[in-house]
Structure 1
Amino acid sequence: MNKSAIIIDDELTSVEALRGLLNRYCPDINVVDFAHGVVSGLQAIEKNNPDLVFLDVEMKDGVGFDILQQLPVEPRFQVIFVTAFDHYAIKAFRFCALDYLLKPVDPDLLVQAVDKAVKVSNEAMANKIKILQKNKNGNEKIVLPSKDEFFVAEVNEIIRCEANGNYTIFYLKNHQPQLVSKTLKEFDELLSGSKFLRIHKSHLINLEFVERYLPKDSQVIMKDGARVEVSRRRKDVFLKYLFNN
């Protein structure tokens, strides 16, 4: 089934490059219009009511987020962000499980992103964008994708994460554990910082939920009662945190 798309990007060369890739690798995507900024992008969306929007992050008259915030109603289209290098934006997208493409766009990743986008419901996309907007001043919520749904979790309610093959089990305050269809490595890269620490190849913990440390057993007792092993390789980093806080 053909899907209509618009490209919003202030670089004409990027627009032409992306349109060429779509014509070649995604023949079911019909580019019906393009725009070069926030104002013209809003006009193009209103005029065409597209199924899919490729949205540049940084433009001369604003950022792509501005378009989403200025829409009069919840978006009824899928969004794939396009960015050159903005690390903060990439992290924001990953927190919300939103797709993004790095310039220059890789054809294989483009096909994957389009395939995923056309399968996501408008409601799910609208919810992801809401989380993105709420996280504007800090990543307070995270979207956890499972096989059949997306679970929205407060970051400060994550007690710990445990590797389970290519999946990750999230243990949350006041919620049942969530089996998430991403690896622990991905969440380590996303969450590690002031509050989260990888203490074992299979365990990422929220340091604010540490209750006790048992040196003899090299284990941490979490506030939910779980005993989590601290590996020898990561013990020094963990102990440094304990003594400095």
Structure 2
Amino acid sequence: MSDLHVLLVDDEPLALRRLETLFGDIDDVEVVGTAATGDEAEAQIARLRPDLVMLDISMPGKSGIRVAADLAADPRPEIIFVTAFEQYAPDAFEVDAADYLLKPVRFDRLRQAVERARRRRTMRDAADRLAGVPAEARDEAIWVQVASGNLRLPIAQIEWIEAARDYVLFHTATRSFIHRISMAALEQLLGPEQLIRVHRSTFIRPALVNGVQRLGKGLIALEMQDGAVVQVGPSYVKSVLDRLGLA
């Protein structure tokens, strides 16, 4: 597997150093450069042609959102936004970001986001992604908004879901989609045979659980296939262990 070439963009030196340290523990990636402003980021993208850009949203001058929106369609690097502010999430996914990470960045979420970006490099076109889904798996789907309009997202492609204020993030193998719906309404929509609620702000697909961490005092966390570690809410522990056959 060839290395994924990564450009880090943040106006805070400490944030850049933290990202460099975290990337040092991820296999098959190479940090090829850094930038501290939107203009510098555009120049470095043009010069280095990275596969992935870790892009801070709030920077002096040109914002990360503007940088992503102004990128040429081809060749276009994958974008993972990094920010301290949740309210930018809708704007981030309008420009087709692979993921959206909140500071301080957790290693498991970074690794998961990088792997998603890596997969997206070989699965760019949404139509190609859906073409390989069996017809029976398309019967249940959710229409989500994307930059070009709306996309029919088969529920079978959703790996896990997390709440983001008034929105939810649907995480698939290749990207995340933002959608305005409450967790309560989502629970009514999703069949428990597919995705189960494990926290007031999280659903997961049981078939993708690789391991269970025992945290003490009856608390647990789930290790997902993509490397994410998902906390289970105290009131959900029993039902989750039952569902996994571990009760």
Q: Could you tell me how far apart the structure 1 residues matched to 2:90 and 2:132 are?
A: 23
Is 2:158 aligned against 1:182? yes
SS at 2:158 equivalent: coil
Aligned amino acid, residue 77 of structure 2? F
| 1:170 match | 141
The TM-score with structure 1 as length reference comes to: 0.54
Aligned amino acid, residue 20 of structure 1? T
SS at 1:104 equivalent: coil
Q: CA RMSD in A?
A: 3.9
**1:132-156 deviation line (CA, Å, top 9, x unaligned):** xxxxxxxxxxx9x86957xxxxxxx
Is 2:42 aligned against 1:66? no
Is 2:189 aligned against 1:203? yes
Aligned pairs for 1:1-245 (under 5 A) are 1-23=2-24, 25-85=25-85, 87-93=86-92, 96=96, 98-121=98-121, 124=124, 148=132, 169-170=140-141, 178-182=154-158, 189-190=167-168, 191-192=179-180, 201-203=187-189
Displacement, 1:68?
2.1
Q: Could you tell me how far apart the structure 1 residues matched to 2:153 and 2:104 are?
A: 39
Aligned amino acid, residue 70 of structure 1? D
Q: Could you tell me how far apart the structure 2 residues matched to 1:47 and 1:200 are?
A: 44
Q: 1:18 to 1:192 in 2, by over 3 A?
A: closer
Q: 1:33 to 1:55 in 2, by over 3 A?
A: same
Q: Which runs of 5+ in 1 are unaligned?
A: 129-142, 150-163, 205-245
Q: Could you tell me how far apart the structure 2 residues matched to 1:38 and 1:13 are?
A: 18
Which structure features the higher share of helix residues?
Answer: 1
Q: Percent identity over the alignment? A: 27
**1:96-136 deviation line (CA, Å, top 9, x unaligned):** 57312111110111111111111113672xx78xxxxxxxx
Which stretch has the larger CA shift, 89-98 or 67-76? Answer: 89-98
Q: Could you tell me how far apart the structure 1 residues matched to 2:107 and 2:74 are?
A: 30
Aligned amino acid, residue 188 of structure 2? S
Q: Could you tell me how far apart the structure 1 residues matched to 2:19 and 2:114 are?
A: 12
Query: Whose Rg is larger?
Result: 1
Q: Could you tell me how far apart the structure 1 residues matched to 2:52 and 2:70 are?
A: 17
Q: Could you tell me how far apart the structure 2 residues matched to 1:42 and 1:62 are?
A: 10
Kept in 2: contact 1:147–1:181 (CA 8 A): no
Q: Could you tell me how far apart the structure 1 residues matched to 2:73 and 2:186 are?
A: 45
Aligned amino acid, residue 22 of structure 1? F
